[in-house]
Amino acid sequence: MSSTDDSDRIFKALADGRRRAMLDLLKDHPRTTGEIATAFPALHRTTVMQHLGVLEAADLIIVERKGRERINHLNPLPIHDIHTRWIGEYAALSVQNLSVFKAELEGRPPR
């Protein structure tokens, strides 16, 4: 697989808001598939599992199996790699300056 194929899988996985929300749930700590399914009551458990499968195929999550339980861990490395590729050291300062400028225009403290 080329890095382009990897990037395509990552961008496609991140394109869906529900999958991004699932990744947000995993930022604090790993969660079982059941815990993730509970956080999305409008989705059937099999749909949640399909979304998790897409995230796993994109290497955005690492699944640990303990008996019948699946514990999902966030893998931030692919997102970091994309950030490094698309933002880079040179552009990072410019992006930070734009972020501060935007916050000032919106009347809120910069992050």
Mean pLDDT along residues 24-50: 97
Share of the chain above pLDDT 90, in %: 65
Question: What CATH number did the domain enclosing 8 receive?
Answer: 1.10.10.10
Q: Which residue in 70, 1, 85 sits closest to 36, CA to CA?
A: 70
Same domain, 68 and 81: no
Q: What is the pLDDT of residue 1?
A: 47
How confident is the prediction for the chain on average, in pLDDT?
A: 91
Same domain, 66 and 14: yes
Structural domain harbouring 66: 1-75
Q: What is the pLDDT of residue 3?
A: 64
The two tokens of residue 108 are 């809120």
Mean pLDDT along residues 21-50: 97
As for how many domains the chain has, the answer is 2
Same domain, 8 and 29: yes
Same domain, 107 and 71: no
3-17, 37-51, 58-72: least confidently modelled range: 3-17
Q: DSSP alpha helices (H): ranges in 15-109? A: 17-26, 33-38, 45-57, 77-86, 88-105
Q: How many CB atoms neighbour CB 31 within 10 A? A: 20
Same domain, 58 and 105: no
pLDDT higher for 48 or 92? 48
CA separation, residue 4 to residues 1, 7, 16, 45, 61 (Å): 8, 5, 19, 31, 19
pLDDT higher for 52 or 93? 52
Same domain, 60 and 106: no
